[in-house]
Amino acid sequence: MSLAERLTREHILARLSPALCCCALLLTAACGGPAPAPTPPPQPAAAPAPAAAPPVSAPAPLPEDPKHRLLVGTEWRLGEMTVHFLDAGRLLVKGGDVAPHAPGGITVKYRYTDGAVEASVMGQPITARWDGAALSVGGLPAEKMAPDSTDNTR
C-alpha cells in the first residue's frame, strides 16, 4: 500500500471514527438504553361504595281519631304473621306467606275508617276491626306482641 493510499485510508478512518462512535451511542440509547419504569402490579378491585341511605322523612303526624292514635306504634301477631303499625298510614308485615318473598317483611299502606283497617298484602285484601283495645281479622282475635312504648293519646 502506498503512502497516499495509507494516508487516505487513515484520513477516512479518522474522520469516520467520531461519526461511528456517535452512531453507536445513538443505537445504544435507542435500542438498549435504560429499561422503562416497571408497570405497577394490578391493584385489587375496590370495594363497591355502600348504598346510599334512603332519605329520612319526617314521621307522619298522629291521626286525629283517638282510637286510631292508640293503634299506631303497636305490634300484633296474626297466626304466623306479625303486623307493626308504623304510623297513621303504613304497616310492616313479617312472616307467614310474606317471608319467602320478603324475609325482612314488607311495608304496605293501610286505611283506617271508624274502626275498620283495610290493607292489601301481596295482592290480598285484608280487613281488620279495631275497637281501641283489641284487633281482630275475620272475627279471629290478634295477639298484642309488645306493650306500646309510646304515648299516642296526645
| pLDDT (average), residues 9-21 | 58
Q: Measured between alpha carbons, how far is 2 from 8 in angstroms, rounded to an integer?
A: 10
Residue 84, CA distances (Å) to 10, 78, 81 in order? 106, 11, 10
Here the cell at position 62 is 298522629
Q: What is the pLDDT of residues 25-60, one digit of tens each?
A: 444 555 555 656 777 777 766 666 555 555 555 566
Of 44-58, 72-86, 101-115, 120-134, the range with the lowest mean pLDDT is 44-58
DSSP for 95-128, written as a single string: EGGGTTT-TT-EEEEEEEETTEEEEEETTEEEEE
Give the global pTM. Answer: 0.57
* In 33-65, alpha helices (H): none
DSSP state of 71: H
